[in-house]
Structures are given as C-alpha cells and as structure tokens.
Amino acid sequence: MLKIEQLRKWYTDERNPVVEGFDLEVQRGEFVSLIGPSGCGKTTVLRVVTGLLDPNGGRIFVDGKPSLGPSRDKALVFQHFNLFPWRTALHNAAYGLEMQGVAKKERLETAEHYLQLVGLGKFLDYYPAQLSGGMQQRVGLARALAIRPKVMLMDEPFGALDALTRENLQRMLQRICAEQGLTVLFVTHSTDEAIFLSDRIIVMGVRPGRIIAQFKVGLRKPRSDYDWRAEAEYTRVRSEIWSLLEGQLEPLEAVPA
C-alpha cells in the first residue's frame, strides 16, 4: 500500500542529510512503527510521505501510484491536537471533508459516524476547550479517519497524554485498526507502545537517518486480551530494540556540546 524508495532529505547542507537511502514497504492492512533516537529523522520521513515536506531525492508510492504531494489517500494525525477552538468536535472532525468539497449533510454524517467510532458520540457539540486532551486526540483521529485514507500517518499521537489515557487510546486504536483494516505508519519514542500496536517495527539510526533493523512482532492480537508483557516474544523484541537504540546514543553523546 505504501512504498518509499531511496528517500533523501536535507535542510541546510546536502552533505549532512537528515535522511539518506530510506527504503520501506508497508503492506495493505499492516501497522508499522518507526522508532529511533531524537534527531534520527522519523518525523521527517512522515512529513515527506504526507507531502508537508519536499524530498531531495527518492520516490513515494501509495497503492502503486506516485504520491509526492498532499492527497486524500493519506491522512496525518499529529502529536498536538491542532483543533480549531471555534469549531465543535463535529465540525472539527468534518474539516478534512469540507476541504475536499463534500456536501455539508454528507460530511457531517460521516464525521458523526467516526466520532461515534472513537467513543465521542455524546460530545458532538462540545468545543475543544470543553474536552480533555485524550478526547481532543480522539477528535483528531476521527478527522483523519473521516476522509477514508488509504494510509494513516501518525506522529507520536499519544505522546502528550498521561500514561492511563495513552494506554486507553492505544487499545482503542488497535481495535479500530482491526475493524477498519487500516494501513498505518506510526512514529513513537516508546518501545512498549511500538510492540503493543505493531505488526512490524522499524529501528532507525542517526547521521544520517536510515533503517538499521526491523522486527516482526509475533505476539497475537488483540494484545489487550492478555498479559502481553509476560510473553517471551515481548522480552526478546524489547531487549534487542533497546540494545540497538543504546548503540545509536553512544556517538551522539560523544559529540561536544
């Protein structure tokens, strides 16, 4: 569903690219997480894929077609909620459809459907200031789902939330992904979050940002149905990823401030 070929991106100096030689394929219905130390280019990759940044090299395909700019085939869920404070939850969730020129009745019905899906059916007329952080992020997720994208791109969507809310939304997201058959590319700093949600985890290295390893997560889904952290597979994957990430931090720590 998503194919990234030889992605290259720099900001100020092409001799020091942020991302170099990045190749990745995400299958239809697959949940893939990107994890790596700060500065490895995870968010850069995501923003190039969604069309918010132009690459300096490489190609991106969605469902077999070139896709280097913004399109309705891709939706991005940000870490910060980015809701319009003067719009209700319903009208925030309908915003993407409005930008696509969808008729008002249809877009509001679609937005309501997805707000129901994320558990906000009773809060359609609430404004962002009246909603908790977790509820606001649910509105952001409903807004992305409403355009029915082929690929969901998620940039640490739960990073600003408390631990309990975060775990609750992780369970909700896993349920929705299973029900909707979503294809997801997900950026996170949390190894546990990546293991809980993912079919496959991509570990990125620094200088330049690139893929250094990938892990298929063999834990059965839904992972909320059992103590997944007690499984040997969890211990193995977490230990190997942690070892790789520690190795990437060493050259960063050696650089003078």
Give the torsion sign (CA, 192, 193, 197, 201): negative
Q: pLDDT-based confidence at 248, cuts 50/70/90? A: confident
Q: Diameter of the chain by CA atoms?
A: 59
Mean per-residue pLDDT over the chain, rounded:
91
- Per residue in 60-73, pLDDT (tens digit) is 999 999 987 888 89
Section 235-252 average pLDDT: 84
Domains of the chain, each with CATH number or no CATH: 2-73+149-253 (3.40.50.300)
- pLDDT, residue 39, reads 84
Q: pLDDT-based confidence at 131, cuts 50/70/90? A: very high
Q: How far apart (Å, rounded) are the C-alpha atoms in residues 94 and 147?
A: 9
Q: How far apart (Å, rounded) are the C-alpha atoms in residues 95 and 184?
A: 21
- pLDDT, residue 234, reads 96
Q: Is the pLDDT of residue 250 over 80?
A: no
Q: Is the pLDDT of residue 251 over 80?
A: no
Q: Is the pLDDT of residue 78 over 80?
A: yes
- pLDDT, residue 235, reads 96
- Per residue in 155-173, pLDDT (tens digit) is 998 887 888 888 999 999 9
Q: Provide φ and ψ at 115, rounded to 5°.
A: -65, -35
- Per residue in 173-224, pLDDT (tens digit) is 999 999 999 999 999 999 999 999 999 999 999 888 899 999 999 999 999 9
Section 239-256 average pLDDT: 73
Task: Answer for the pair 157, 137: CB distance below 8 angstroms, yes or no.
Answer: yes
- pLDDT, residue 241, reads 95
C-alpha closest to that of 194 among 68, 33, 47:
33
- Per residue in 13-56, pLDDT (tens digit) is 888 899 999 999 999 999 999 999 888 899 999 999 998 899 99
- pLDDT, residue 160, reads 78
Q: pLDDT-based confidence at 80, cuts 50/70/90? A: confident
